[in-house]
Amino acid sequence: MERAQQMPAADTGPVEEVERFDAIIIGAGVTGLYALYRLREHGLSVRAFEEGSGVGGTWYWNRYPGARFDSESYTYGYSFSEELLQEWDWSEHYAGQPETERYLNYVADKFDLRRDIQFHARVVSAVYDERAHRWQVHLADGSRARAQFLITAVGLLSAHYIPDFEGLDSFQGAWCHTGRWPAEGMDLAGKRVGVIGTGATGVQLITEIAKEVGHLTVFQRTANYCAPLRNGPIDPDTQRQIKASYPDIFKRCNETAGSFIHKFDPRSALEVSLDERLEQYERLWAEPGFKKWLANFYDIMLPGPANEDYAAFVRQKIRERVKDPVVAEKLVPKDHMFGSKRLPCESGYYEVYNQDNVLLVDVREAPIERITPTGVKTRDAEYDLAVIIFATGYDAVTGALNRIEIRGEGGQTLKDKFAKGPRTYMGIQSVGFPNLFTINAASVGNFVRAAEPLVDWVCDCICYVRDHQFTRIAPTSEAEAAWTQHVAEAGAKILRTQADSWFVGANIPGKARFLLTSPDTAPVMRAKRAEVAAKGYAGFLLQ
Ligand code: NA7
């Protein structure tokens, strides 16, 4: 920690109708709810602003049919309250969206969080008052609020992205993006439906709606490696076992790179015999969830021959499930490495393409040219549709921040500063934006497992600042430059940066290519943050 000259920083801001708090949180999803709980526990006055009408964030907005965990339900829930852990029964190994939304509502009620959350409250700007060391936020309804600390718990994947297709305004049918699925649902039964996008979301959605639509056209640009989820109900015995072993479950999650419960096999895929290798591939393939990915030979997650060997195995699994060999070949990924994107887990996805009423259109071969009043026109054909669903993903991490005009010291905007990629210290803070904690950029993997310790760290940091009579904390330029360089250099070596995906901003035309999350494993990140805190917030400037 560097101690700069201390300045008096009473809140001498404008005296008009502005509500004042110690901390403001933007977003009442998984991270925002926990930050609210934690900061309030520390005795701070807190207000969370949430655009939606309810809590849940991702699990509030993503109401599309088929939305579901790929983490085991009991590894995803909060760990901070033993009472909560014992009270809540997850009904399935991989819970669906309605259950997760119910869970987050239960948490909000149990800990009386709603009294400090303002719903239907869209924050349009946040401006730093350099004299008072306070943030002033402006809401869409014209109201304002001030706080010393601002936490953007706006989510990693919340700024939904709809490609700029010409003609969407002219479409006479119904359309929506999966991340803004209407609460009342979409009427798809018997209709001609088109889905654009075959990422994790599209895969879940397509599998579910294929059961009820009249005809389904899937517009695929890139085929994905998908693996069977093998979901099932949690029986009472298993429920008891889970509740008795939460400390062990969380300990195991905390030991792994992505905070999932699965631990890599320390052997190389190439050091065992072919028979042994195939036996393991098959055995894990038959298991639920990410085990077939994250409990496999460690080097299938490194660019190289082991990765390619497993990719070939997965491609063959896809071919075996699709009757028409031409369609099968279109569904087999050939242009990116296995695991370079998050593995979509499915429950009958490939069999959908064996249905007579389902058509797969390769839009890499024949790109979408425009939306017409009656459907979609590609270079080669026109498709008549009553409904178009965009499963086209998100402007990840920076997209959600950019939707808010965040102005720091000297009037600079965070959007300008992050134009070539986020420049932060550990993903948490950025020079020129004191007392702002951009925590949506800092956790990845099994989300809640990574988010809880991060929020704990931020709350402890805020308490440290206050307890030591400082009023302002921001990283040093040196710490920020070193971290940004580390993200670029270490990021270049990992599998996640090798594909054109949201991880590196490659899904958004014109967005700078830069790893948007930390290149380090979860245990390494926790250790780095702990060391920084132990050294009195080394790399930060406190005033
Ligand atoms: P993703 O993984 O970003 O997938 C978006 C999909 O939309 C993907 O198939 C894209 O094809 C496709 N897309 C995007 N733009 C276009 C255009 N212009 N034309 C055709 N197709 C397009 O988002 P998801 O919501 O599925 O998943 C996000 C995360 O949520 C996931 O990683 C999990 O962690 C949960 P592309 O692959 O870019 O060729």
455-502, pLDDT tens digit by residue?
999 999 999 999 999 999 999 999 999 999 999 999 999 888 999 999
Q: Which atom of ligand 1 is nearest to the CA of 507?
A: 38
64 Cα to the center of ligand 1, angstroms: 15
Exposure of 284 in the CB half-sphere (CA atoms within 13 A):
22
218 Cα to the center of ligand 1, angstroms: 13
DSSP character at residue 512: P
Ligand 1 pocket, residue 370 CB under 6 Å: no
pLDDT of 150 above 70: yes
Closest CA to 308 of 74, 44, 495, 517: 495
The residue count of the chain comes to: 543
When mean pLDDT is compared across 12-21, 106-115, 178-187, 454-463, the lowest value belongs to 12-21
Higher-confidence position of 229 and 5 = 229
Q: What pLDDT does residue 324 have?
A: 98
C-alpha R_g of the chain: 24
What is the average pLDDT across 362-383? 97
Residue in the block written with tokens 């994947």: 157
Ligand 1 pocket, residue 388 CB under 6 Å: no
Q: Which residue's CA is minimally distant from atom 17 of ligand 1?
A: 163
What CA–CA distance (Å, rounded) separates 41 from 21? 15
Tokens found for residue 389:
């669903």
67 Cα to the center of ligand 1, angstroms: 15
Ligand 1 pocket, residue 71 CB under 6 Å: no
- CA-angle at 112, arms to 106 and 115, nearest 5°: 120
The answer to whether 147 and 25 are in contact (CB under 8 A) is: no
Ligand 1 pocket, residue 117 CB under 6 Å: no
Ligand 1 pocket, residue 498 CB under 6 Å: no
pLDDT of 296 above 60: yes
Query: Is 376 in a helix, a strand, or coil?
Result: strand
pLDDT of 95 above 70: yes
Ligand 1 pocket, residue 205 CB under 6 Å: no
111 Cα to the center of ligand 1, angstroms: 36
Residue in the block written with tokens 């270049």: 492
Ligand 1 pocket, residue 231 CB under 6 Å: no
62 Cα to the center of ligand 1, angstroms: 14
DSSP character at residue 11: -
Burial class (CB in 10 A: 0-12, 13-18, 19+), 100: buried
392 Cα to the center of ligand 1, angstroms: 5
Residue in the block written with tokens 């419960």: 261
Pocket probe mutation, ligand 1, options 164, 507, 513, max atoms within 8 Å of Cβ = 507
Ligand 1 pocket, residue 361 CB under 6 Å: no
Ligand 1 pocket, residue 342 CB under 6 Å: yes
Q: Which atom of ligand 1 is nearest to the CA of 368?
A: 19
pLDDT band at 367; cut points 50, 70, 90: very high
Those residues whose C-beta lies under 8 Å from the C-beta of residue 27, and which sit 6 or more positions away, are 48, 49, 50, 57, 152, 153, 154, 155, 158, 440
pLDDT band at 169; cut points 50, 70, 90: very high
When mean pLDDT is compared across 157-161, 192-196, 440-444, the lowest value belongs to 440-444
Ligand 1 pocket, residue 392 CB under 6 Å: yes
Pocket probe mutation, ligand 1, options 161, 201, 341, max atoms within 8 Å of Cβ = 201
252 Cα to the center of ligand 1, angstroms: 31
The answer to whether 193 and 209 are in contact (CB under 8 A) is: yes
Higher-confidence position of 80 and 342 = 80
Q: Which atom of ligand 1 is nearest to the CA of 178?
A: 25
Ligand 1 pocket, residue 389 CB under 6 Å: no
Ligand 1 pocket, residue 517 CB under 6 Å: no
Ligand 1 pocket, residue 155 CB under 6 Å: no
DSSP character at residue 50: -
370 DSSP β-pair partners: 377
Ligand 1 pocket, residue 196 CB under 6 Å: yes
508 Cα to the center of ligand 1, angstroms: 10
Query: Is 6 in a helix, a strand, or coil?
Result: coil
Q: What pLDDT does residue 410 have?
A: 97
pLDDT band at 4; cut points 50, 70, 90: very low
Pocket probe mutation, ligand 1, options 363, 392, 498, max atoms within 8 Å of Cβ = 392
Q: What is the largest CA-CA distance in the chain?
A: 75
Looking at beta carbons, which pairs linking 124-128 to residues 24 or more positions away fall under 8 Å?
124/404, 124/405, 125/404, 125/405, 125/406, 125/407, 126/26, 126/150, 126/404, 126/405, 126/406, 126/407, 126/436, 127/405, 127/407, 128/407, 128/408, 128/409, 128/433, 128/434, 128/435, 128/436
Ligand 1 pocket, residue 163 CB under 6 Å: yes
pLDDT band at 9; cut points 50, 70, 90: low
Ligand 1 pocket, residue 525 CB under 6 Å: no
Strands (DSSP E) contained in 363-404 are 368-372, 375-378, 382-384, 387-390
Give residue-wise pLDDT tens across range 402-441: 999 999 999 999 999 999 999 999 999 999 999 999 987 6
The answer to whether 193 and 178 are in contact (CB under 8 A) is: no
201 Cα to the center of ligand 1, angstroms: 8
DSSP character at residue 93: S
Q: What percent of the chain has pLDDT over 90?
A: 94
Cα first-last separation, the chain: 10
pLDDT band at 390; cut points 50, 70, 90: very high
233 DSSP β-pair partners: 92
Give residue-wise pLDDT tens across range 46-69: 999 999 999 999 999 999 999 999
DSSP character at residue 52: S
What CA–CA distance (Å, rounded) separates 473 from 538? 11
Q: Which atom of ligand 1 is nearest to the CA of 221?
A: 39
Residue in the block written with tokens 């008009």: 16
CB 410: neighbour CB atoms within 10 A? 8
The answer to whether 299 and 270 are in contact (CB under 8 A) is: yes
DSSP character at residue 197: -
What CA–CA distance (Å, rounded) separates 196 from 206? 10
Ligand 1 pocket, residue 222 CB under 6 Å: yes
Ligand 1 pocket, residue 307 CB under 6 Å: no
Strands (DSSP E) contained in 294-348 are 345-346
